[in-house]
Amino acid sequence: MASTPVDVAIIMGSQSDWTTMRHASETLTALAISHESRIVSAHRTPQRLYDFATSAKANGFKVIIAGAGGAAHLPGMTAAMTPLPVFGVPVESKALSGQDSLLSIVQMPGGVPVGTLAIGKAGAINAALMAASVLALYDEELAARLDAWRASQTNNVAEFPVDEA
Ligand code: RP5
């Protein structure tokens, strides 16, 4: 029996990226979107990347979130090998604070797009929300959950600041 397809794949170049990319996973979990997370390195495990990217669509994934730091080729190489939408998250690197990751991911040549988010945690959360928006186009229940998530965020913003301890 075929296994149930998972909607979103979260891939990252290293275990060290999980501190950032877990925020994408947590956001998808909050929206009840099926997903799985894997370490796939463009440089250290190129065959794993090839196998993943070339079979991602056939395996039922609908959106890919790819996080990497430094010379961050993972999102772009993934986008080169799949027609699925790929959202790239620049992980904050030690040497250049993620500026290297950002430029590596965002400066794709015309014809091979990677939807590039902000450096770090904010980018990981927003990549998940972008994935949710795409999936919600054809899923009214998810669209309602996404609306509720955004309404909750709005309701949690206090009108006046308070002194913090
Ligand atoms: C990249 O190199 C990874 O995405 C990670 O952000 C960075 C450093 O990897 P580690 O040396 O911590 O494994 O490929």
The whole-number average pLDDT for the span 100-109 is: 98
- Say if residue 17 carries a ligand binding annotation: yes
- Say if residue 22 carries a ligand binding annotation: no
Per-residue pLDDT tens over the stretch 28-70: 999 999 999 999 999 999 999 999 999 999 999 999 999 999 9
Note the maximum CA span of the chain: 58
Q: What angle is formed at CA 17 by the lines to CA 82 and CA 60, rounded to 5 degrees?
A: 30
Confidence at residue 2, expressed as pLDDT on a 0 to 100 scale: 59
CA of 104 to the centre of ligand 1 (A): 13
- pTM for the complete prediction? 0.96
Q: Which atom of ligand 1 is nearest to the CA of 13?
A: 4
Confidence at residue 67, expressed as pLDDT on a 0 to 100 scale: 98
CA of 13 to the centre of ligand 1 (A): 6
**Cα separation of 28 and 127, whole Å?**
10
The whole-number average pLDDT for the span 87-98 is: 97
Whether residue 1 has pLDDT greater than 70: no
* CA pseudo-torsion sign 109, 12, 10, 92: negative
Query: Hey, which CATH number is domain 8-155, 3.40.50.2000, 3.40.50.1970, 3.40.50.300, 3.30.1180.20?
Result: 3.40.50.1970
The whole-number average pLDDT for the span 109-136 is: 98
ipTM value > 0.95:
yes
Confidence at residue 165, expressed as pLDDT on a 0 to 100 scale: 79
Per-residue pLDDT tens over the stretch 140-150: 999 999 999 99
Whether residue 95 has pLDDT greater than 80: yes
Whether residue 161 has pLDDT greater than 80: yes
The whole-number average pLDDT for the span 83-99 is: 98
- Say if residue 38 carries a ligand binding annotation: no
Ligand 1 pocket, Cβ-based, cut-off 6 angstroms: 13-14, 16-17, 41, 43, 68-70, 91
Average pLDDT, the chain: 97
Q: Which atom of ligand 1 is nearest to the CA of 42?
A: 14
Residues above pLDDT 70, as percent of the chain: 99
CA of 97 to the centre of ligand 1 (A): 13
Confidence at residue 153, expressed as pLDDT on a 0 to 100 scale: 97
